[in-house]
Amino acid sequence: MNTIDHAAESERQDALRRAAETPVAGMPVARPAGANGTETNTGAAETRQRERLPTAPTRLPRPRGNVRWTIAVLLFVGIVINYFDRVNLSVAAKPLEAAFGLSAFQYGIILSSFLWSYALLQIPVGQLLDSFGVKWLVRIGTILWSLATFMTAIVSGMGLIILARVILGIAEAPAFPGASKATGYWFPLSERGLATSSFDAAAKFSNVIGVPIVAWAVTAWGWRGGFWVTGVLSALFAVAWWIWYRDPQEKKGLTREEREYIRAGGAQQETPAPAHALKSLKFLLSQPKIWGMTIGFAAYGYSFYLLLTWLPGYLQKTYHMSVLESGWYTIIPWAVATVTDLVIGGWLVDRLIRAGHEPTRVRKTLIVIGMLMGLFVIGAAFTRSANIATVWISLALAGLAFAAPIGWSIPALVAPTGTVGMTGAIMNFFNNVMGILAPIVTGLIVADTGSFAVGFIVAAVVLAIGIICYVVLLGDIHQIEAPAELRPPETAPATR
């Protein structure tokens, strides 16, 4: 190594050491000690006040090594395949309804059945993630969801299909909370937006490639063909996750420099979960900030799940398209959503915050703009043109898509230490309750009116409620300070 390289490396290491000593938003701050080594009253008050101030992430030099981004790619692929297992039923709507003589209402029940168990398990899964970690819970889940997908391809009858979907919901319950928690472990605050948008965009991108793939399989081999294809892909991902995913503290190949970059940049530390899970849950549910985050995201979830489950069926029923034709039309809005998710919800958020803009203002402004754009879904209620309807739906999904990763980044930013999994699970539980309601309510509306128009209007009203909650209840986006008895031992401040 020449003299210039030595100087550059020395400067890089000095910057990392200085950053490690600098307080970072959302991280515990070293507390001043009194003469007897305990925290002074004045110091404690000042420290807690500093911790609550939302500040821009510390600017750190880029480390050598990009293991963290291979984790982001793994999470992206996992969510893509996870959503393949959800859209396959949406694409197969027409042949499945014909095979079993199902009404729109009955098919709405089947579409929502996955979410019965998925939503119910969100809060327990959050506690399990905090207690046992991401690695093992997702390992078990990926194996089980592969088996459940194969089961759907084998069984016959509405009851057994519902059973297979309920098992699938159990297996996939750790997927999104686990991705959120892993992102909190692996990424500093300055990269959290893009890292979060990478796995959230996967939910949209899965429709871009998954819908035509499943539509082709259904056209070639019947409705069961789509489930065989997604089952094989799920099994392959289970192997990849088992081999590659580890938390930062146990990941081989992670350089010391990259590990320090992640830690000093404000990543959540791999601390044990609080011992009193029910008390922690009660405390979280008493916080207005949690409810603002949760109701706002649930409103997004209603429109997202309506379009995820009914968009191919809407095109088939309203514009008399074939399964394959509806698949190609479905690609357009989801492709637009993928781009806005990554570019605005990820890259732009990180860029604005690194440029010195106040983080809460950046996140809340963009999330509200995105939700307002979601109201464009009303336009699809008042057109008879498939092309114009696709434009309105694309605009709505574009906004909802870049709002979503901002919404998913909030749990890791506001959760008290040791409760990221539970905080994300609370939000995702209510999000998926709306996911249960959206296909059933829409199915009832279509069965009663023969049209999707009222269903789109209902979605817009729900979005308006969510916007109000984000603006009024959420407040500043900073880490919530838990009572001392609910903190992991090593994070509780010293007392006299």
| CATH number of the domain enclosing 399 | 1.20.1250.20
CA distance 150 to 138: 18
CB atoms within 10 A of CB 212: 16
Q: pLDDT band for position 49 (50/70/90)?
A: very low
Q: pLDDT band for position 486 (50/70/90)?
A: low
Whether 18 maps to a domain, the answer reads no
Chain segment 459-483, per-residue pLDDT in tens: 999 999 999 999 999 888 888 887 7
Percentage of the chain exceeding pLDDT 90: 27
For residue 32, the model assigns a pLDDT of 39
Paired residues of 389 in beta bridges: none
**What is the sign of the dihedral through the CA atoms of 211, 381, 398 and 201?**
negative
**Both structure tokens of 424:** 């994300």
CA distance 290 to 469: 10
| Number of domains, the chain | 1
CA distance 203 to 404: 10
Residue 40's SS3 state is coil
Mean pLDDT of the chain: 80
Chain segment 190-213, per-residue pLDDT in tens: 888 888 888 888 888 887 888 788
Whether 157 maps to a domain, the answer reads yes
For residue 75, the model assigns a pLDDT of 93
Q: What is the CA radius of gyration of the chain?
A: 23
Q: pLDDT band for position 51 (50/70/90)?
A: very low
Residue 451's SS3 state is coil
- Tell me what the mean pLDDT of segment 307-316 comes to: 85
DSSP code, position 450: S
CA distance 479 to 25: 8
Spatial contact of 183 and 412, defined as CB atoms under 8 Å apart:
yes
Q: For residue 73, give Cα distances in angstroms to 231, 314, 421.
A: 20, 32, 21
Whether residue 45 has pLDDT greater than 90: no
State residue 234 phi and psi, 5-degree precision: -65, -40
Whether 36 maps to a domain, the answer reads no
Chain segment 135-156, per-residue pLDDT in tens: 889 999 999 989 998 998 888 7
Domain extent at residue 329: 67-241+273-481
**To which H or E segment does residue 207 belong?**
helix 192-221
Whether 336 maps to a domain, the answer reads yes
For residue 459, the model assigns a pLDDT of 94
Look-up of token digits 């509405």: 158
For residue 490, the model assigns a pLDDT of 55
Whether 489 maps to a domain, the answer reads no
CB atoms within 10 A of CB 453: 17
- Tell me what the mean pLDDT of segment 419-447 comes to: 86
* Side chain identity at residue 214, one-letter code: V
Residue 257's SS3 state is helix
Spatial contact of 71 and 197, defined as CB atoms under 8 Å apart:
no
Whether 32 maps to a domain, the answer reads no
CA distance 313 to 95: 11
For residue 275, the model assigns a pLDDT of 58
Whether residue 392 has pLDDT greater than 90: yes
For residue 25, the model assigns a pLDDT of 38
Question: Under 8 Å CB-to-CB from 90, ≥6 apart: which residues?
Answer: 111, 211, 308, 309, 310, 311, 312, 313
Whether 490 maps to a domain, the answer reads no
Whether residue 421 has pLDDT greater than 80: no
- Tell me what the mean pLDDT of segment 258-275 comes to: 73
Whether 5 maps to a domain, the answer reads no
CA distance 383 to 386: 8
Look-up of token digits 């030595």: 6
For residue 483, the model assigns a pLDDT of 77
Residue 33's SS3 state is strand
Beta-strand ranges (E) seen in 19-110 are none
